[in-house]
Amino acid sequence: MKPTRTSKAWMREHVNDPFVQKARREGYRSRAAYKLMEIDDRDRLLQPGTRVVDLGAAPGGWSQVARQRMGKRGQVVAIDLLPMDPLDGVGFFQGDFHDQVMREKLKEALGGEADLVLSDLAPNISGLALYDQARAAELWDAALGFSVNLLQRDGKFLVKVFHGGDFESYVKRMRGIFETVATRKPAASRGRSSEVYLLGKTLRPGAVERWSAEEGRVD
């Protein structure tokens, strides 16, 4: 397929992006690594001994940062529909985190409930704004449901979201699940992008039951 003017402009911006260049110099798999670094500098999420799940992990930038910052202690388990090159100290599953069997495998690999769930998920962009926003919101909800059912009581959930029609309702849902919810906009997130990160800390009592009632199911 012949590159479009838009795709050429994106590629020029990407290649010239200072965080892309920095990631190449410093050996990180993606510029997104610096987003997690900045958030972790502020919120101290990646402590030695933490059990971490990285949703939508490929190519592995966030898993790479998690493993480095935690040292040899703790567990990092990653999952993606796409393949991911191996990372020392990171368990990887290629599959769908919606699948209950896969959830059980992730929990087994962790050795118990998670302390931290990371989600840098984003849908493939079609260019149709309403459709893309709806698909993104479905992923946010799926990641939240996964977290509710896997996190331990004092667990944390960091998720990428986008400002738009579903943003405020999603923040409200997270506040019903977590005792505190904070917004983060790291420097590596492009200024013109509508993406921000929401950080939920500590499940509210009855969060699992509340989520199951809202979804009309019991996971």
pLDDT at 136: 84
pLDDT of amino acid 191: 66
- Measuring CA to CA, how many Å separate 22 from each of 25, 27, 56, 195? 5, 8, 22, 21
Q: How far apart are CA 155 and CA 200, in angstroms?
A: 8
- For the chain, the domains span 30-215
Whole-number Å distance between alpha carbons of 136 and 98: 15
Per-residue model confidence (pLDDT) at position 18: 80
Is residue 156 within 8 Å of 200, Cβ to Cβ? yes
Six-digit token pair at 138? Answer: 């479905």
Q: Which amino acid would we find at residue 32?
A: A
pLDDT recorded at residue 16 = 61
Digit-coded pLDDT (tens) for 67-79: 999 999 999 999 9
Question: Residue 218 has what pLDDT?
Answer: 40
Region 5-32: mean pLDDT is 70
* pLDDT confidence band for 189 (50 / 70 / 90): confident
The CATH architecture assigned to 30-215 reads 3-Layer(aba) Sandwich (3.40)
Q: In the predicted model, is pLDDT for residue 170 greater than 90? A: yes
pLDDT tens-digit map of 81-134: 999 999 999 999 999 999 999 999 999 999 999 999 999 998 777 776 777 778
Q: Which residues are catalytic?
A: 160
User: Using CA atoms, how far apart are residues 28 and 32, in angstroms rounded to an integer?
Assistant: 9
Q: Which CA distances in Å does 9 have to 13, 49, 107, 187?
A: 6, 43, 42, 21
